[in-house]
């Protein structure tokens, strides 16, 4: 009987884990199934480009997994029963011996009134396309407010301002856009925002979103025909409804191999998991975290199934890549635990670097057999549940 590995979600972390498992394990011993609602791989780091009307390369998951032995099932996940090892889908159930949970995250409204009803977000393809349609409806001189000064907020603000110079674009954030960056990087970001004509509302808390703008904590109204909400992400509530141990954030608590600390037959990767990084700090929600987490989970599963030593993936940071439109960017070099160093790239060179990183991540995820040319290992002699040992 083949060992059934089910991967929930085919974003960066889920697709990477599935492909890496397929490259590590012999298909005679395992059956790998990926469950995903969308038939295409979504490059989440490019949603700000999609929202501004740009053409993105379409990547079919069926094509990505062709020849790997991975089975693709297009369905939505409803519930997970971690005791019975069963997942309820929109079109039936699927059982597993090992589960890789990679359902990612969605936009977090933080309980702010009006966000769900009136704001737009960039957490996925559907929401980005919704924003794309709305932006296309705006005429010259109309206003857009981006709430949030983190990576997503910065990229959304600059992309919209560059793509639509006829609009009045503003950014509102509790601190300042990019205030965690090195001083040189912050200066460059400020220069780009000035050049693009972005009005920055720093140290501004948004407490309500309406049809015509947003209300600040001190009672001011920032008028906007469109409000784009980029103030953080939250995981899907499916894991919290299970018997899996989760953190207060709803993320599955895992050990250094991305294995659930409560259920040894479950692994969690990407935004859905809370894992310890360098210095004991939790890894942040990002592609930069999700892909190494997927490498670690897949390698740990394969090693345990084949009786080999578990390799250690580089769960650390090297830089933060930020696009500032299509012709400018910032590469902030960081310590292993994600603190900024006094080194950076900026301008066109940084924009090219960011594009190279994005293309490289998508290519590597889509070509696991080329990335891992080692021969697949047999699982001979192991029981179907041996991976839980």
Phi, psi of 333 (to 5 degrees): -75, 140
32 in a domain, yes or no? yes
Phi, psi of 266 (to 5 degrees): -120, 130
Residues 34 and 67 in one domain: yes
Percent of the chain with pLDDT over 70: 95
Instruction: Give, as one character, the DSSP assignment of residue 85.
Output: T
Residue range 180-197: mean pLDDT, rounded: 97
Residue range 192-200: mean pLDDT, rounded: 98
Which residue bears the tokens 């993936």?
A: 313
Query: How would DSSP label each residue in 222-255?
Result: EE-SEEEE-S-EEE-TTGGGSSS-B-TTSPEEB-
Residues 218 and 177 in one domain: yes
Domain closes at, from 177, 202, 229: 229
326 in a domain, yes or no? no
Mean pLDDT of the chain: 94
Q: What is the pLDDT of residues 21-66, one digit of tens each?
A: 999 999 999 999 999 999 999 999 999 999 999 999 999 999 999 9
Paired tokens of 237 = 């509530």
Q: d(Cα 372, Cα 205) in Å, to the nearest integer? A: 47
Give the three-class secondary structure for 196. coil
Q: How many CB atoms lie within 10 A of CB 308?
A: 12
- Residue 367 burial class via C-beta count within 10 angstroms: exposed 0-12, middle 13-18, buried 19 and up: middle
Percent of the chain with pLDDT over 90: 90
- Among 130, 170, 127, which residue's Cα sits nearest to residue 147? 170
State yes or no: pLDDT of 231 exceeds 80: yes
Q: d(Cα 68, Cα 79) in Å, to the nearest integer? A: 27
Asked whether 336 and 314 are in contact (CB, 8 A), the reply is no
Q: What is the pLDDT of residues 99-152, one digit of tens each?
A: 999 999 999 999 999 999 999 999 999 999 999 999 999 999 999 999 999 999
Q: What CATH number has the domain bearing residue 71? A: 3.50.50.60
Domain that holds residue 240: 3-104+236-315+358-368+377-384
Residues 14 and 90 in one domain: yes
* pLDDT at residue number 374: 55
Residues 243 and 283 in one domain: yes
Q: How many CB atoms lie within 10 A of CB 315?
A: 18
Residue range 226-250: mean pLDDT, rounded: 96
Q: d(Cα 203, Cα 299) in Å, to the nearest integer? A: 44
* pLDDT at residue number 384: 42
Q: What is the pLDDT of residues 359-380, one digit of tens each?
A: 988 887 777 666 665 556 777 4
Give the total number of structural domains in the chain: 2
């Amino acid at each position: 009987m083949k060992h059934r590995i089910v991967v929930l979600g085919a974003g960066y972390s889920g697709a990477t884990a599935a492909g890496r498992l397929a490259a590590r394990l012999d298909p005679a011993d395992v059956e790998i199934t990926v469950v995903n609602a969308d038939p295409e791989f979504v490059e989440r780091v490019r949603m700000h480009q999609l929202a501004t009307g740009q053409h993105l390369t379409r990547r079919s998951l069926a094509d990505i997994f062709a020849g790997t032995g991975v089975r693709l099932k297009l369905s939505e996940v409803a519930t997970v029963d971690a005791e019975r090892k069963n997942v309820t889908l929109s079109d039936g159930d699927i059982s597993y011996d090992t589960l890789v949970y990679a359902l990612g995250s969605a936009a977090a409204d933080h309980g702010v009134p009006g966000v769900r009803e009136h704001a737009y977000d960039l957490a996925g393809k559907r929401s980005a396309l919704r924003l794309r349609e709305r932006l296309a409806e705006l005429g010259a001189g109309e206003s857009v407010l981006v709430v949030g000064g983190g990576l997503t907020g910065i990229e959304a603000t600059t992309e919209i301002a560059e793509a639509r110079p006829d609009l009045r674009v503003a950014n509102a954030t509790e601190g300042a856009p990019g205030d965690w960056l090195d001083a040189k990087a912050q200066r460059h970001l400020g220069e780009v925002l000035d050049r693009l004509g972005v009005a920055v509302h720093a140290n501004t808390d948004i407490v309500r979103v309406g049809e015509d703008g947003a209300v600040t904590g001190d009672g001011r109204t920032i008028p906007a025909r469109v409000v784009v909400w980029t103030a953080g992400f939250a995981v899907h509530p499916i894991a919290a409804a299970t018997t899996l141990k989760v953190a207060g954030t709803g993320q599955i608590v895992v050990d250094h191999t991305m294995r659930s600390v409560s259920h040894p037959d479950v692994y969690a990767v990407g935004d859905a998991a809370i894992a310890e990084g360098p210095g004991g700090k939790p890894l942040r929600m990002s592609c930069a975290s999700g892909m190494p987490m997927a490498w670690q989970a897949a390698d740990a599963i394969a090693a345990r199934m084949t009786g080999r030593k578990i390799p250690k993936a580089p769960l650390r940071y090297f830089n933060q890549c930020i696009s500032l439109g299509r012709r400018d960017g910032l590469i902030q070099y960081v310590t292993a635990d994600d603190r900024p160093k006094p080194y950076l790239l900026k301008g066109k060179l940084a924009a090219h670097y960011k594009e190279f990183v994005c293309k490289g991540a998508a290519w590597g995820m889509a070509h696991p057999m080329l990335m891992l040319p080692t021969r697949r290992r047999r699982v001979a002699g192991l029981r179907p549940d041996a991976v839980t040992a």
